[in-house]
């Protein structure tokens, strides 16, 4: 979807979600879009705290296209469900986790995982931290192009939330992913707050 459609759909969801007293954020390609790293968004990935998933699921229930997915060999996510609202696919994700050869990586989604709030059509839309999606994309299959886009962005604009990357390093990670994060954080050409 283009910029106008993205803004329209997300702002309408935000108007409702923000009234439900839940911690949520737009994730995945919406994060890339908000940072100017892609020109289109195919669907809306909505991240929510696990304890808030039932509230958002109840709100979105009339738009559900299938039951919650509970068993996937790679994604060990606690809650995942797809909906279609006004022709747009929405994925609701809580307790996002990715299995890999060193164990399972758990995306720690909470208030601190919200990088910024975009104002779209007057509604506040929380946007997840780009640093988290850098790690998540490295753990997903076939996402190298997105990882390279994010690295280029960090080189040009700095890392805004280095604590999110430091937190990732406390979890099990494939050695290649761990080394890439460490190399990025140690790159003297990349600025970080407090450095």
Coil/strand/helix, residue 91: strand
- Label residue 144 exposed, middle or buried (CB < 10 Å: 0-12, 13-18, 19+): exposed
* Contact yes or no for 85/9 (Cβ under 8 A): yes
Give first-to-last CA distance, the chain, whole Å: 38
Enter the pTM of the model: 0.94
Q: Which backbone phi and psi does 159 adopt, to 5 degrees?
A: -100, 120
pLDDT at position 152 is: 97
Q: Tell me: the pLDDT tens digits for 98-151?
A: 999 999 999 999 999 999 999 999 999 999 999 999 999 999 977 899 999 999
Q: Which helix (H) or strand (E) holds 133?
A: helix 130-139
* Contact yes or no for 127/146 (Cβ under 8 A): no
Q: Tell me: the pLDDT tens digits for 154-186?
A: 999 999 999 999 999 999 999 999 999 999 999
**Domain positions in the chain:** 3-186
Please state which of the four CATH numbers 3.40.190.290, 3.30.460.40, 3.30.310.50, 3.20.20.140 is assigned to the domain occupying 3-186: 3.30.460.40
């Amino acid at each position: 979807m283009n910029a106008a459609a993205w803004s329209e759909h997300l702002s309408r969801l935000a108007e409702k979600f923000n009234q439900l007293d839940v911690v949520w954020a737009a994730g995945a390609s919406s994060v890339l879009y908000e940072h100017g790293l892609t020109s289109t968004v195919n669907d809306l990935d909505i991240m929510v705290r696990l304890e808030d998933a039932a509230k958002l699921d109840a709100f979105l229930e009339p738009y559900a296209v299938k039951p919650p997915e509970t068993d996937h060999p790679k994604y060990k996510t606690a809650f995942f469900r797809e909906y279609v609202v006004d022709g747009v696919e929405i994925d609701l994700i809580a307790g996002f986790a990715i299995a890999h050869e060193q164990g399972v990586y758990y995306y720690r989604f909470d208030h601190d995982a919200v990088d910024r709030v975009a104002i779209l059509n007057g509604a506040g839309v929380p946007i997840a931290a780009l640093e988290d999606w850098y790690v998540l994309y490295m753990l997903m299959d076939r996402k190298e192009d997105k990882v390279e886009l994010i690295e280029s962005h960090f080189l040009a604009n700095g890392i805004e939330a280095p604590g999110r990357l430091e937190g990732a390093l406390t979890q099990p990670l494939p050695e290649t992913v761990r080394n890439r994060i460490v190399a990025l954080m140690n790159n003297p050409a990349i600025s970080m707050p407090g450095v």
